[in-house]
């Protein structure tokens, strides 16, 4: 395996093999891929996957890496988009043992490199994938950084990583599930969009100078970023990654 620093090597196309999977929700599948020659990656980076049809047509899509570096293993979590070209295949039809082309690791700004400073992770919907890679790295390294994770989602049936989020809370992380349309029985927060009051109550005060990572659809990211700076957080310590509608 390459001795390069994880996440620092220039992206290159490699051939990955699906060796396992997990079902997160009925339309979300986590893929466990072995990638010979993989140089490692940093929490928050992503990859491009390329499919080639028999007639030569190619489709390429970007997916966030869902877990920290672990040898030549790359873990992706993919949500099926109804009109997508790539995600329906990856969620429903991509068989164990099959090959796929992968370019990566990609990205060097929306990454967490460790440290003991407070870490605030804010996710909207599928934006939980890269911030979960950061939370898993926090857990796996035994980090002493105070961690708070705020996760906005529509309803309980769209919850990713339920068991691991509960485990993070047991390990001392602050975890808020902010449902926007439907809540599970006994949930003490009414259904509503994530707001500045939630960030103030469940995040960190600006004086703690946390590193803030925000990921989700563009309107969500813009609203959370504005709320954080409105609360007094230093905009230079707020990093965001956004996504919008694509072909899937």
Quote the pLDDT of residue 133: 98
Q: Return mean pLDDT, the chain.
A: 94
Fold matches, 12-106 and 119-242: no
pTM of the full predicted structure? 0.93
Share of the chain above pLDDT 70, in %: 95
Domain 12-106 annotated CATH 2.170.140.10: no
What fold characterizes domain 119-242? Rossmann fold (3.40.50)
Q: What is the 3-state secondary structure (H, E, C) of 83-96?
A: CCCCHHHHHHHCCC
138-194 pLDDT per residue, tens: 999 999 999 999 999 999 999 999 999 999 999 999 999 999 999 999 999 999 999
In the block, tokens 């003991």 appear at: 116
Largest CA distance in the chain: 58
228/199 Cα distance (integer angstroms): 7
- Give the residue extent of every domain in the chain: 12-106, 119-242
Mutual orientation of helices 162-170 and 128-140 as an angle, nearest 10°?
40
Quote the pLDDT of residue 219: 96
Say which DSSP state 19 is in.
E
Comparing 93 with 247, which gets the higher pLDDT?
Answer: 93
> Does residue 248 carry a pLDDT above 80?
no
Quote the pLDDT of residue 2: 41
């Amino acid at each position: 395996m390459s001795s390069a620093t994880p996440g620092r090597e220039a992206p290159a196309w490699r051939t990955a093999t699906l060796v396992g999977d997990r079902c997160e929700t009925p339309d979300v599948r986590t893929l466990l891929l072995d990638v010979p020659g993989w140089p490692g990656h940093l929490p928050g980076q992503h990859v491009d996957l390329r499919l080639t049809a028999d007639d030569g047509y190619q489709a390429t899509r970007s997916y966030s890496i869902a877990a920290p570096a672990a040898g030549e293993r790359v873990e992706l979590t993919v949500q099926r988009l109804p009109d997508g070209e790539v995600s329906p295949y990856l969620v429903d039809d991509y068989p164990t043992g099959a090959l796929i082309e992968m370019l990566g690791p990609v990205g060097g700004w929306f990454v967490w490199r460790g440290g003991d400073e407070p870490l605030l992770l804010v996710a909207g919907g599928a934006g939980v994938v890269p911030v979960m890679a950061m939370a898993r790295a926090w857990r796996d390294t035994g980090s002493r950084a105070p961690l708070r994770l705020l996760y906005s989602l529509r309803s309980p049936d769209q919850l990713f990583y339920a068991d691991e989020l509960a485990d993070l809370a047991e390990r001392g992380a602050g975890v808020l599930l902010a449902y926007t349309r439907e809540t599970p029985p006994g949930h003490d927060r009414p259904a509503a969009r994530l707001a500045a009051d939630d960030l103030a109550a469940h995040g960190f005060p600006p004086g703690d100078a946390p590193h803030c990572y925000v990921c989700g659809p563009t309107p969500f990211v813009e609203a959370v970023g504005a709320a954080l700076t409105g609360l007094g957080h230093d905009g230079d310590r707020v990093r965001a990654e956004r996504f919008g509608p694509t072909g899937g």
